[in-house]
């Protein structure tokens, strides 16, 4: 679905302000995957996100979306339609005066006929659980609700991939949970390919695969349990253990036999395990 081959990005090349943001990144994302991208501030996460729908072109190397080279101007609009983006600040993404106009904005720009737009708006709002708010003004919604409307706006374009760049960074815990659950459901039920950039390790632990960026390079690309079981890697990359992994470690140090490879993200899994241990004690 998406393929990066030896990609490097340098901002302001040749000037005094030159910054190398990504170096030799090879990455393949298959259709239907849920991939989390983590890394310290400045490790290149947002730069990577912008490469995926041709908002940014690599300085070296190549990026393909469904076989279309992002640097080929012929494919620009098709790539932008197929790869939808959701950013950190919901206030910068909502443009209209009502929720439904906002969701209709993308397909209108694509020239989709009005009855088809109405159908898509309905579907997209249902998919994020925001139908009841369709006539509301976006700026009156909570942060989490705004992000769900922003996601609906992307869904109305019928994308194959959604790239979310720290979509929960500005939200309260409730909003974070709603947004993550919405994204997980879209992935599970609609089969949408998800690239989820986050600095919350518990969110990353919910992905199928975690890509760790460290100073512009891919330091690890593996299952959550492999990434979060590697303390040396986390330390080097400036990342924390997910809270449940930390809790599992603390229990282990107190003598509770929690398996070494417990990686979360599921609170239920840990509770089950503790109950089983207790009943067998």
Ligand X SMILES: Nc1ncnc2c1ncn2[C@@H]1O[C@H](COP(=O)(O)OP(=O)(O)O)[C@@H](O)[C@H]1O
Name the one range near ligand X by CB under 6 A: 36-44, 187-195, 224-232, 271-279: 36-44
Bin 261: left if φ > 0, else alpha if -120 < ψ < 50, else beta. alpha
Output the smallest distance, CB 219 to ligand X, in A: 13
Closest by CA to 197, choosing from 37, 67, 81, 89, is: 37
> Does 19 participate in binding ligand X (rule CB under 6 A)?
yes
Binding of ligand X by 46 (CB under 6 A): yes
Nearer to ligand X, 48 or 152 (CB): 48
- What residues contact 22, with CB distance under 8 A and at least 6 apart? 7, 8, 9, 44, 47, 48, 51, 58, 216, 217
Taking CB under 5 A as the rule, does residue 46 contact Mg ion? yes
Using CB under 6 A as the binding criterion, the count of chain residues that bind ligand X stands at 12
User: What is the Cα–Cα distance from 125 to 49, expressed in whole angstroms?
Assistant: 24
Residue 21: contacted member of ligand X, Mg ion, none (CB under 5 to 8 Å, by partner type): ligand X
Among 6, 11, 91, 97, binds ligand X (CB under 6 A): 11
Contact 173, 93 (CB under 8 A): no
Binding residues for ligand X restricted to 229-248, rule: CB under 6 A: none
The least distance separating ligand X from the CB of residue 11, rounded to whole angstroms, comes to 3
DSSP 3-state of 275: helix
> Does residue 42 belong to the site contacting ligand X (CB under 6 A)?
yes
Residue 44 interacts with ligand X (CB under 6 A)? Answer: yes
37: left (phi over 0), alpha (psi -120 to 50) or beta: beta
198 binds Mg ion (CB under 5 A): no
Please, are residues 129 and 148 in contact by the beta-carbon 8 Å criterion? yes
CB closer to Mg ion out of 46 and 53: 46
Q: Which residue, 46 or 198, has its beta carbon nearer to Mg ion? A: 46
Binding segment (CB under 5 A) for Mg ion, from list 45-53, 154-162, 172-180, 181-189? 45-53
Please report how close the Cβ of residue 166 comes to ligand X at its closest, in angstroms: 8
User: For helices 173-190 and 143-155, what crossing angle results, to 10°?
Assistant: 20
The two three-digit tokens of residue 276, written as one number: 């089983």
Could you list the residues that contact Mg ion (CB under 5 A)?
Answer: 45-46
Could you list the residues that contact ligand X (CB under 6 A)?
Answer: 11-12, 19, 21, 39, 41-47
């Amino acid at each position: 679905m998406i393929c990066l081959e030896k990609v490097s990005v340098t901002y302001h090349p040749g000037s005094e302000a030159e910054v190398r943001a990504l170096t030799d990144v090879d990455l393949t994302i298959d259709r239907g995957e849920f991939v989390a991208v983590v890394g310290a501030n400045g490790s290149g996460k947002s730069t990577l996100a912008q490469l995926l729908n041709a908002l940014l072109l690599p300085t070296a190397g190549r990026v393909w979306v469904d076989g279309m080279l992002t640097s080929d101007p012929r494919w620009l609009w098709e790539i932008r339609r197929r790869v939808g983006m959701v950013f950190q600040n919901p206030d910068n993404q909502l443009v209209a005066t009502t929720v439904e106009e906002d969701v209709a904005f993308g397909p209108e720009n694509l020239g989709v006929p009005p009855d088809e737009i109405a159908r898509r708006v309905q579907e997209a709002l249902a998919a994020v659980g925001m139908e009841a708010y369709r006539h509301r003004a976006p700026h009156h919604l909570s942060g989490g609700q705004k992000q769900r409307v922003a996601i609906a706006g992307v869904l109305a374009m019928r994308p194959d991939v959604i790239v979310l760049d720290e979509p929960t960074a500005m939200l309260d815990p409730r909003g974070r949970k709603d947004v993550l659950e919405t994204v997980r459901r879209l992935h599970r039920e609609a089969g949408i390919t998800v690239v989820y950039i986050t600095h919350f390790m518990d969110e990353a632990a919910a992905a199928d695969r975690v890509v760790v960026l460290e100073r512009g390079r891919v330091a690890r690309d593996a299952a959550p349990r492999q990434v979060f079981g590697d303390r040396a890697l986390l330390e080097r990359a400036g990342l924390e253990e997910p809270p449940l992994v930390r809790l599992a470690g603390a229990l282990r140090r107190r003598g509770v036999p929690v398996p070494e490879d417990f990686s979360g993200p599921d609170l239920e899994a840990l509770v089950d395990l503790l109950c089983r241990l207790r009943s067998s004690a």
